[in-house]
Structure 1
Amino acid sequence: MKIIFMGTPQFAVASLDALIKAGSDIIAIVTAPDKPAGRGKKLSESAVKQYAVENGLKVLQPEKLKAPEFLEELKALKADLQVVVAFRMLPEAVWNMPPKGTINLHASLLPQYRGAAPINWVLINGERESGVTTFFLKHEIDTGDILFTEKVTLTGKETAGELHDRLMQKGAGLLVKTVKGVESGRYNEHPQSALLEGVELKHAPKIFKEDCLIDWTQSAEGIYNKIRGLSPSPTAYTTLGDKILKVYAATFEIVEPSIQPGAFFTDNKTHLKFAANDGYVYLTDVQLEGKKQMDIGAFLRGNKL
């Protein structure tokens, strides 16, 4: 099959690389336009574009996916199948173009955690299972018929960064399996509606800065899950005086706190703990506004509280 691959970040690169190594005929990739980044505002290429250029692949970077010139260029390529990994929402004119359709890799066990940030929300909610899913695209986002899934067990301690890397590799393998299945016709489609009966649906919307603020009136474990679910990015934070303190890692204990939620205690050496509603959260890796990220010992040596 002739395949067009659509993706942007590093998560998608693993899948593109796996498809190429498995012998798939990638005739073009579609990725985000170059964007100014850093202090010098130099144009930055997406991870997928960098990989594509290094491997001599044709690159398309449309500003608008409905632009007539882009649709004509896509049509002229005559792809049999399109593969989407961590890209953006496609108009029907794009996803409905190839005769074999468009498949998507999603970093959750659909229908749970549909949306832009499944890896983060799975951990924030303290789940003990996650995984990857491939499915055919249709009108509503992340609702298409499921092709294949692969589960992973969670420990309750991993960060979003660590789960990202696990699912990136799991997803790459699952995508190769899916493409081979579509090519040979050996696959079954499972409507997501069949999996929804009597199930509470959990969502994974895009995360904004206000979502990252720690609410110390919550449970200690809930705060701990939020910290690891947002680490290393976009990062949970609290305030210390008039400055923002990002929190990358923490531990917690359940015990009757002797101070009000949000108040903190420190020995100014190795411990900085904040009270939650049912215990304490010990910060272990932080970054004060305007400073570098550091472990709590280094932070306390430089910032007497």
Structure 2
Amino acid sequence: MSLRTVFMGTPEFAVPSLRKVVASGYEVVLVVTSPDKPRQSARSEPEPTPVKKTALELGLPVLEIEDLNNPDFDCALRQAAPDVMVVVAFRILPARIFSIAPKGIFNLHASLLPKYRGAAPINWAIINGEKETGVTTFFLQEKVDTGQMIVQKRLEIFPDEVATELAARLSVLGAEAVVETLDLIRRDAVVPIPQDDSLATKAPKLTKENTQINWNLPATAVHQFVCGLSERPAAWTTFEGKVVKIYRSKVIEPTGAGDAGKWHISRDALYVSCAEGLLEILSLQIEGKKRMRASDFLRGYRVKGHERFV
């Protein structure tokens, strides 16, 4: 039996899952995604989501939805008559739709639940210096990221790996987990595992406030912070009143007290003191300028000798 499947997702992270579901022979009767985004140029056509692009390429029907309380949303789901619904990097869904598919609705989350419940699990796993992470599929319930688990897969976090690199690897692993979950559901072989709330940790949404670099931390912690926020939205600091995004860094000295935020320049290399240790800045972007290597930035900058990041 091939399950009639509704797939919900928006970003690139969800694309491998959609492709693998189709390639595995499941009948995707509807793809739900966010509306096209306007481009910067008013003359250009709006930009479709990565999931919409993939769905159209695969010849699948697409529903773009902005307001999840719109009755058309429920109507479209019911008309699709799914056996099961799959959610990968979409939005927080209203509980009223959970019962539409008789075999349930499940989500793919990019962490080893119950750790890193929330909007940014990949980022916070790197920021917190985890050595491994993974993906979890679980049945949706009203409280976000708390449902009973179905499949969990682990993955090592490489040294100096940034969030976008880890996300790409997790998206492939997640696709495997999604299809394994569908296979279990198809065979009525799911053994749901309750989450242990006492082990839960949070992965809050990234904001301007929680992505600012604190130079009063050890160099290793600052480096993890930079890696965890690269390429998007990027860790930031300020220099001479301007925002500076830091994309790549390297720990030069992990220990030793320093004057937090102070620059040290050697030839074409930029080092910054942290509360403990020294960090090399490899790639950055000054407000109003393009991203560049730190060495290129220094070639065009007249050193004064008292520079620091704040």
Residue 92 of structure 2 corresponds to which residue in structure 1?
89
- State the TM-score, normalizing by the size of structure 2: 0.93
Q: Distance in 2 between matches of 1:271 and 1:254?
A: 17
Superposition deviation, residue 15 in structure 1: 0.3
8 Å contact 2:215–2:275 — kept in the other structure? Answer: yes
**What's the CA shift string for 1:167-215, capped at 9, x where partnerless?**
010001111111111111122100003xx44x3x321111012211111
Aligned residues: 299
Output aligned runs, 1:145-160, within 5 Å: 145-160=148-163
1:290 aligns with 2:288: yes
Residue 168 of structure 2 corresponds to which residue in structure 1?
165
Secondary structure (helix, strand or coil) at the match of 1:226 reads helix
Residue 68 of structure 1 corresponds to which residue in structure 2?
71
8 Å contact 2:270–2:295 — kept in the other structure? Answer: no
Residue 210 of structure 2 corresponds to which residue in structure 1?
211
**What's the CA shift string for 1:56-84, capped at 9, x where partnerless?**
11111122112112211211111110000
Q: Percent identity?
A: 39
**What's the CA shift string for 1:91-140, capped at 9, x where partnerless?**
01222211001011000000000111000000011111100000100110
Higher mean displacement: 232-241 or 107-116? 232-241
Secondary structure (helix, strand or coil) at the match of 1:57 reads coil
Letter of the 1:35 counterpart: K
Superposition deviation, residue 256 in structure 1: 2.2
Q: Distance in 2 between matches of 1:285 and 1:35?
A: 29
1:256 aligns with 2:264: no
Superposition deviation, residue 37 in structure 1: 2.6
Superposition deviation, residue 242 in structure 1: 2.2
8 Å contact 1:144–1:191 — kept in the other structure? Answer: yes
Output aligned runs, 1:165-204, within 5 Å: 165-193=168-196, 196-197=197-198, 199=199, 201-204=200-203
Structure 2: 5+ residue runs without aligned partners?
A: 304-310
Residue 2 of structure 1 corresponds to which residue in structure 2?
4
Q: Distance in 1 between matches of 2:230 and 2:283?
A: 10
Residue 17 of structure 2 corresponds to which residue in structure 1?
15
8 Å contact 1:66–1:93 — kept in the other structure? Answer: no
Structure 1: 5+ residue runs without aligned partners?
A: none
8 Å contact 2:272–2:280 — kept in the other structure? Answer: yes
**What's the CA shift string for 1:1-41, capped at 9, x where partnerless?**
10000000000011000111111100110000122132437
Secondary structure (helix, strand or coil) at the match of 1:36 reads coil
**RMSD (Å), alpha carbons:** 1.4
Letter of the 1:147 counterpart: I
Secondary structure (helix, strand or coil) at the match of 2:256 reads coil
Which of 271, 274, 290 lines up with 1:273 in the alignment?
Answer: 271
Secondary structure (helix, strand or coil) at the match of 2:38 reads strand
8 Å contact 1:65–1:94 — kept in the other structure? Answer: no
Q: Distance in 2 between matches of 1:57 and 1:98?
A: 19
Superposition deviation, residue 42 in structure 1: 4.2
Q: Distance in 2 between matches of 1:69 and 1:11?
A: 26
Output aligned runs, 1:9-48, within 5 Å: 9-40=11-42, 42-48=45-51
Letter of the 1:273 counterpart: Y
Q: Distance in 1 between matches of 2:47 and 2:157?
A: 34
Superposition deviation, residue 300 in structure 1: 1.2
